[in-house]
Amino acid sequence: MNFLLKQIKKVKPHFEKGGRFEKLRSVFDGFETFIFVPEKVTSKGSHIRDYMDMKRTMTVVILALLPALLFGSYNIGLQHTRAFGIEGWSLMQMFWFGFLKILPLIIVSYGVGLGIEFVVAQLRGHEINEGYLVTGMLIPLIMPIDVPLWMVAVSVAFAVIIGKEIFGGTGMNILNPALTARAFLFFSYPGWMTGDSVWIEGLTKGTAVDGFSGATPLALAKLDEFDRMPSVTDMIIGTIPGSVGETSVIAILIGALILIATGVGSWRIMLSMTLGALGMGLLLNISGSSEYSQLPAYYHLIMGGFAFGAVFMATDPVTAAQTNTGKWIYGALTGIMVVIIRVFNPAYPEGTMLAILLMNVFAPLIDHFVVNANINRRLKRVKTT
């Protein structure tokens, strides 16, 4: 590392003002700060001093995503062996099979996304930030494993350009970029985002053994085929078909603990979203007439992308509510909307993506009302004294 640092310092003057490659300064700066902690520190006029800069924050989220990525890699191999009747594979064989299948998705996601970020930074003449480091990992984890790479590239370009850069870049976007990418694919190429075959590697081109179904629990629930639903244990562990990083509740909870312990993720949003979904599920248990509405409320927490969305998507500090009271309201309404979309929308089995994107739009309004309520309450207190 010392050798690399010396080499970077050696060529750095060429990229600074007056150097031969001055126009590429932002690209060099992005590369340097990605590898090493920047030397710049606050010298004066600072109200808050904190070691948690954006790069450290993004690094913590990446670490929190690793359990879901590692288990997702194993589950890809596991589902593949079940679908095609392959016997004798060890745990490591299934893991490496899955990891090598998801690796191209990760490479395309980062390659396209960071490429656009670098170009935009050059055009605007500002530094490259680390905001896409997390988005680049989230996008492959919420995709079906068999989705074509060119579709991933197009969705990433749409999410970065339309979902983020058009609003001013990281910190200015109103929608979660990763969910924007998934929503783009869902509405543009629904055949690759729904159905039983897209969740199992190779099943879109091959034929599964008799008796095997690649249907997710949500798809089965939507078809009222509750007798074919996997067990609660399987859904919590994650040995079921689904998006790469969304199946294992245990792996996601490990990530949640990391985010909460480091203060990066909002426990208020995670808890209120869970309580909102449970409350809506219990209300449907009491008043609902369909078999789906009678499904135990806690099933909504372990099916589909609810856990992943509550931990890694709804808590996005840019697109979520900012005030503490607003976070409780935002999270609760998101959880309620997830269950409503799942139960009452006949065309779309998963509700987490749409619920979070919808609440992203209303998050600023929620904060606005919370702040105004606080101001009015204090004004009344002043008038009575």
- Residue at 44 is within a domain: no
Low-confidence ranges of the chain (pLDDT < 50): none
What is the pLDDT at residue 213?
Answer: 75
Q: Are residues 138 and 31 in the same domain?
A: no
What is the pLDDT at residue 320?
Answer: 93
Closest CA to 158 of 178, 142, 144: 178
Whole-model pTM: value is 0.87
Q: Are residues 129 and 265 in the same domain?
A: yes
> For 154-173, how does the pLDDT look when each residue is reduced to its tens digit (9 = 90+)?
999 999 998 888 887 777 88
Rounded CA-CA distance 168/367 in Å is 21
3-state secondary structure the chain: CHHHHHHHHHHHHHHCCCCCCHHHHHHHHHHHHHHCCCCCCCCCCCCCCCCCCHHHHHHHHHHHHHHHHHHHHHHHHHHHHHHHCCCCCCHHHHHHHHHHHHHHHHHHHHHHHHHHHHHHHHHHCCCCCCCHHHHHHHHHHCCCCCCCHHHHHHHHHHHHHCCCHHHCCCCCCCCCHHHHHHHHHHHHCHHHCCCCCCCCCCCCCCCCCCCCCCCCHHHHHHCCCHHHCCCHHHHHHCCCCCCCCCCCHHHHHHHHHHHHHHCCCCHHHHHHHHHHHHHHHHHHHHHCCCCCCCCCCCHHHHCCCHHHHHHHHCCCCCCCCCCHHHHHHHHHHHHHHHHHHHHHCCCCCCCHHHHHHHHHHHHHHHHHHHHHHHHHHHHHHHHCC
Give the list of residues 6+ apart from residue 365 with CB closer than 8 angstroms, or none.
none
What is the pLDDT at residue 77?
Answer: 94
Confirm if 45 and 229 have CB atoms less than 8 A apart: no
What is the domain extent for residue 350? 54-373
- Residue at 47 is within a domain: no
Q: Are residues 18 and 109 in the same domain?
A: no
Domain count, the chain: 2
What is the pLDDT at residue 48?
Answer: 53
- Residue at 16 is within a domain: yes
What is the pLDDT at residue 255?
Answer: 96
Handedness of CA 28, 29, 35, 39 (dihedral sign): positive
- Residue at 228 is within a domain: yes
Q: Are residues 133 and 28 in the same domain?
A: no
Q: Are residues 13 and 124 in the same domain?
A: no
Q: Are residues 134 and 277 in the same domain?
A: yes
- Residue at 329 is within a domain: yes
Rounded CA-CA distance 213/219 in Å is 11
- Residue at 150 is within a domain: yes
Handedness of CA 157, 69, 303, 312 (dihedral sign): negative
Closest CA to 178 of 209, 152, 196, 197: 152
Q: Are residues 97 and 216 in the same domain?
A: yes
Q: Are residues 19 and 64 in the same domain?
A: no
Q: Are residues 210 and 350 in the same domain?
A: yes
Q: Are residues 21 and 137 in the same domain?
A: no
Give the list of residues 6+ apart from residue 36 with CB closer than 8 angstroms, or none.
5, 8
Confirm if 61 and 252 have CB atoms less than 8 A apart: no
> For 46-73, how does the pLDDT look when each residue is reduced to its tens digit (9 = 90+)?
555 555 566 778 889 999 999 999 999 9
- Residue at 378 is within a domain: no
Q: Are residues 17 and 103 in the same domain?
A: no
Q: Are residues 324 and 270 in the same domain?
A: yes
- Residue at 45 is within a domain: no
